[in-house]
Amino acid sequence: MQPILNQISKIKYELLLIAILQHLYIGIFIEDLNFYTKIIWPINMLIVGVSSVGIFIEKGRLKNQLQLLLFLVIIALPIGLAFNDNNHYYFLLLNITYVIYFIWLLYEILIYLVKPSYINTDIISAAACGYLLLIETCTFTMQYFVYKNEQSFNGINLANPASTYMDLVYFSSITLTSIGFGDITPNTHHTKLLTSLFGITGQFYIVILVGILVSKFTSNATQSK
């Protein structure tokens, strides 16, 4: 078991990057949205959960136990959609849990980014993971408000959970990248302020990330002289 964990640890950020990318954007290749909700989504979360294990290797027993608990919960929640597809409170619980999980992953990645003085593929992969985790956090935060109040946004497709999720992935992506096409817009003071906050956070992340990478690159260049 330990050799397997060691191998996972070596490519943990690359694995997580691929897992988050497929979780956010695999809908590009899916036509049947009901199939996506009942089958693809639980598989997606299983992949994300397994891929995040490497981040918590050597993090201590308590963190590993908490990670295992959250891992089981985030897999169980989408499976439960098949039996709770009309349960308003179930969707609220799902979104709160996912926000907590993705914020925790983002925190661990940010801690890693600021520690080493070098720059390598792990740093680049972790930086990309951090940005995608911001999109995940934004998506599920906004989705919480959509299920709390269907009038929270204009332009969201509420026909089924998959279409709502994909619309919010799109909205979160264009918000954090400051593209903002305007086809989906916040409609309550909560979502307007949160959209502003996530937009600022996305730009702040890029600025800080560039500073970190330049600092590490400069440190590498100085040490090599």
Instruction: Give the C-alpha distances (Å, rounded to integers) separating 49 from 55, 59, 108, 147, 187.
Output: 11, 16, 14, 24, 33
The residue segments making up the domain with residue 140 are 2-224
Residue 88: is it exposed, middle or buried by C-beta count within 10 angstroms (0-12/13-18/19+)?
A: exposed
> 92 in the Ramachandran plot: left (φ > 0), alpha (ψ -120 to 50) or beta?
alpha
**Predicted confidence (pLDDT) per residue in 60-78, tens digit:** 777 778 888 888 888 888 8
Mean pLDDT of 106-126: 85
Q: Which one-letter amino acid corresponds to residue 207?
A: V
Number of domains in the chain: 1
**Predicted confidence (pLDDT) per residue in 119-144, tens digit:** 788 888 999 999 999 999 999 999 99
In contact, 174 and 181? CB cutoff 8 Å: yes
Mean pLDDT of 153-174: 94
- pLDDT over 70 (residue 222): no
In contact, 52 and 105? CB cutoff 8 Å: yes
pTM to 2 decimals?
A: 0.90
